[in-house]
Structure 1
Amino acid sequence: MPAHEARLRAGSASTDITPEEPVVMSGYGAREGRSTGVHDPLFAAALVLDDGTSTVGVASVDVLNVSREFTNRVRTALASAGVDLDSIVVAATHTHAGPYLPARALDVSPPLRATADVSETVSRIEEAVVETFRRAHAALEPAAVHTATDSEGAVQENRRAAGGVGGNVRVPHGPVDPNVTAVLVETVSGAETVLYNFACHPVCATARETHLSADWPGVARERVREVRPGATVLFLNGAAGDVNPAGLRPGRSRAEAYEAMERVGGRVGDAVVRALEGAEPAADGASRAPIFVDEAELRLPVKRTPPVETLEARIDDLDDRIERLEADGETVGAEKLAWDRQYATELLAIARWDATCLPNRLPYFEIGTIGVLGMPGEVHTAHGLRFKSAARAESLLLAGYANDYVGYLPPLADLENVGYEVRTAKLSPEAVLEFRREALGLVGALTSSPSAADGGQ
């Protein structure tokens, strides 16, 4: 290809972000204390793509979540370092065994917020993400990009279809998305980057485990590296808000938790490897695909709640009833009311919150037949399947937990069936509609009114 012709360039990098000292962990409200060790390392990996006009960056970080503030500080630091990105996607893998990073919609939840000062941990991870992006940008060189898919349906279950967290879903139902999309990027020097997308919660570790871990995505990463030594591997968790690994026993032991990680991560990693076998890049090692960049500004209304006084009275009443049941040995009834108390406490925290809406920005970009949509939280699978069916791009990668964390975004059909995801959601049904409408507008064209496009989902 003549030197003056447009060509795609790519660069990637990876950084070990495992804390060296005990840190506050995130993922489970029942977990106490700080981390006590490391089961497997945590990483931040970044891919930067440039077509001579537009530059985009994607990072995958082994943490539960990032925040709007975290992403903005990363973007600002990169600009100061001369790395100007037209679009940025900073996606948490959503491991439930990583260090705690604050976010508004996370911290408003009483069981999940951390009271300890975690600013030093946050700063170190931010700096690592910035440096990883900077190294990826510095490594830009002509590259070829190709994509392929495979399927892994044996390791997922829709947890609402299985009865829900705490067994509180009225009408158990919900889909899964077994699709595994793998993108292979190879530069002219032979450097390889694997970006893959799959939708499943990394919750093999339990609240009792205090060793840091990337959970099953860490196992999948190593499986890919075994086949492609030296490759930078990025995982984008998809619309996984209501999807867990299948076959997890609630009271599983430490050994069972780590066995589940190996099982789930091994099978997902094998699916990525199978997909890569059909995703070899062009022989000339270069691509001319232009980059298309878009985004949508959102103003997501917060859930409406009863008055503070009403909720306080409700909690007092539940406390009295739970105490009486426990005194009578009615443990099952007490446990059920304990869930009701947790949900009432969540509502009280929202009622006292000083936020009426959460501003947000959805990033989207396309490269040839590949589209990447950043989504700011726990997006349910029904949304993801709808986005894929409407997408212009042949391969739409859905990056959940990206650039911010706004909590659960359940489909409207789930609202009447309640359950954990609905009852702990921080946003209103109107916010769900706005998110869906804007996401559909980015990935494709709405073919009907927003309400009809929602299809009750």
Structure 2
Amino acid sequence: MIHDHEARLRTGTASVDITPGDPVEMSGYGAREGRSSGVHDPLFATALVLEDGAVTVALVSVDLLNVSRELTRTVERMLAADGVDLDELLLAATHTHAGPYVPARALDISPPLRAETDVSETVAEITEGIVEAVGRAADRIEPATIRVGNAREDGVQQNRRAAGGVGGNVRVPHGPVDPDVTALLVETESGTETVVYNFACHPVCTTGDETLLSADWPGYTREHVEAERDGATVLFLNGAAGDINPRGMDPDRSGEDVYDLMDRVGTRVGDAVCRALEDAESSTKLERAPVRLDAVDVRFPLKETPSAETIRGHVADLEDRLAALEERGDEVGYEKLNWDRRYAEELLAIAEWDARCLPNRIPYVEIGELGIVGLPGEVLARHGLEFRKRAAVETLVLAGYATDYVGYVPRLADLENVGYEVRTMKIAPEAIVEFREGVLELVGGSI
């Protein structure tokens, strides 16, 4: 017999256009110059608020490279001031490399990636859009059900470390992909439909030469699923995609080739999402499962560096050698050594930083046999595969780029193979251990 006080899922959803109206600083590529020159496709903040009568949670996806600890806290404070009381906010970026710049400590410390101009007005407008999306979703709360489906898409991903790495400097190229697509079909009593899907892949179809704002391939996936599902609201949670890129990217692509690639990848992922939704339609409904919350604090200590004076001397030596290579016209040698200079400058920035760690709170939401964990950065694929394998729940959604941005989180085994993700990571090896143990504690796997 069902009693009135038993958990009853209720949801509300909303999507707000957060596309800047004026040219803005863009994020994602250190080589990009100037501000945005227009809009290729709109950027959105999409919110799903769900409650069980005792606990209220908001899942929010925003078309940005990253969010930050400060942005997440500001959104929480503004929502509370508006009377929207949440027990948990899981705010995640899609990680598009063609969106406006949002500061984050681990991003601002990178010399080629940080914005050199004041972006506070842009951030304020984005923040207001996120708050508006959550507020509208909260106003639309009504009884709902959730069903979970799965599919595979193994034709659009490539592990970039397995392909030699960014800059081609991984010592022992290897690494997996995660082809699983998870879709949550959320249906309300009044007939509205929300699709939450999870897939691990960098949105980097665009390039540093392109200056049009874009959601990248997730924007095409959204349009494809909306068309197939009669206008359903679509919310994307990227996964453990730190070393996963779209397959078949021409390094010299430009103009329409960029957007054709976005279309190809986004449409294929969209087809997989639709297959996962068909699978969901035959699955058991989550209707009266209570919402359980948990979280773990991870300090993410920063990696140790030589003294700033020592690194400055190394940078000066590299610049002299680069000048000599440029004078000789050795483009290949210059490009290779220039990566070393970039890494040295990144290391110098950490040595001069007045911080010792990147404190974070990793949230976890569980509804029946469904778990959703927020991962604050660029988590490499092997982490994600292991977390899901060892999770206590049947379905674990890995929401990457959530609540904050700590940069790359490789596995300890990746460190000896070096590469871009290892050389630009801000955290110490012991932070990787702390992170892994914390997530496994949350999702129910033995450490």
Question: TM-score under structure 2 normalisation?
Answer: 0.98
- List aligned pairs for 1:325-364, cutoff 5 A: 325-364=325-364
Q: Is the 8 A contact 1:201 1:241 kept in 2?
A: yes
What is the CA-CA distance between 1:3 and the residue it aligns to? 5.1
- List aligned pairs for 1:167-246, cutoff 5 A: 167-246=168-247
Which residue in 1 is equivalent to 2:122? 121
Aligned length: 446
Which residue in 2 is equivalent to 1:161? 162
Which residue in 2 is equivalent to 1:73? 74
Amino acid at match of 2:89: I
What is the CA-CA distance between 1:229 and the residue it aligns to? 2.1
Distance (whole Å) between structure 2 residues aligned to residue 340 and residue 402 of structure 1: 30
What is the CA-CA distance between 1:280 and the residue it aligns to? 2.2
Distance (whole Å) between structure 1 residues aligned to residue 211 and residue 188 of structure 2: 39
- Structure 2 residue runs without a partner (length 5+): none
2:442 counterpart of 1:442: yes
Amino acid at match of 1:344: A
Which residue in 2 is equivalent to 1:423? 423
- List aligned pairs for 1:98-113, cutoff 5 A: 98-113=99-114
Residue 172 to residue 286, structure 1, CA distance change in 2 (3 Å): closer
Which residue in 2 is equivalent to 1:385? 385
What is the CA-CA distance between 1:282 and the residue it aligns to? 8.3
What is the CA-CA distance between 1:6 and the residue it aligns to? 3.1
Q: Is the 8 A contact 1:27 1:112 kept in 2?
A: yes
Distance (whole Å) between structure 1 residues aligned to residue 273 and residue 443 of structure 2: 24
2:384 counterpart of 1:401: no
Question: Hey, which bits of structure 1, 4+ residues long, moved more than 6 A?
Answer: none
Amino acid at match of 1:100: Y
Which residue in 1 is equivalent to 2:153? 152
What is the CA-CA distance between 1:115 and the residue it aligns to? 1.2
The SS at the match of 1:300 is coil
Amino acid at match of 1:50: E
Deviations 1:146-205 (A, max 9, x none): 000000010000000000000010000011000000000000000111000000000000
The SS at the match of 2:57 is strand
What is the CA-CA distance between 1:230 and the residue it aligns to? 2.5
Deviations 1:36-62 (A, max 9, x none): 011001001000110011111100000
Which residue in 2 is equivalent to 1:454? none
Q: Is the 8 A contact 2:286 2:368 kept in 1?
A: no
What is the CA-CA distance between 1:278 and the residue it aligns to? 2.1
Residue 286 to residue 350, structure 1, CA distance change in 2 (3 Å): closer
Amino acid at match of 1:367: I
Q: Is the 8 A contact 2:149 2:283 kept in 1?
A: no
Amino acid at match of 1:331: E
- Structure 1 residue runs without a partner (length 5+): 451-457
Which residue in 2 is equivalent to 1:271? 272
Distance (whole Å) between structure 2 residues aligned to residue 286 and residue 29 of structure 1: 44
Distance (whole Å) between structure 1 residues aligned to residue 413 and residue 174 of structure 2: 10
Deviations 1:66-118 (A, max 9, x none): 00000000011111112111111100000000000000000000000001110
Q: Is the 8 A contact 2:165 2:420 kept in 1?
A: yes
Distance (whole Å) between structure 1 residues aligned to residue 297 and residue 347 of structure 2: 27
Distance (whole Å) between structure 1 residues aligned to residue 173 and residue 255 of structure 2: 29
- List aligned pairs for 1:225-304, cutoff 5 A: 225-280=226-281, 287-304=287-304
Deviations 1:284-335 (A, max 9, x none): x881011010000111100111111111110111111111111112211111
Distance (whole Å) between structure 2 residues aligned to residue 141 and residue 221 of structure 1: 24
3-12 or 178-187: which moved more?
3-12
Q: Is the 8 A contact 2:210 2:254 kept in 1?
A: no
Distance (whole Å) between structure 2 residues aligned to residue 259 and residue 6 of structure 1: 46
Question: TM-score under structure 1 normalisation?
Answer: 0.96
The SS at the match of 1:277 is helix
The SS at the match of 1:186 is strand
Which residue in 2 is equivalent to 1:455? none
Amino acid at match of 1:204: C
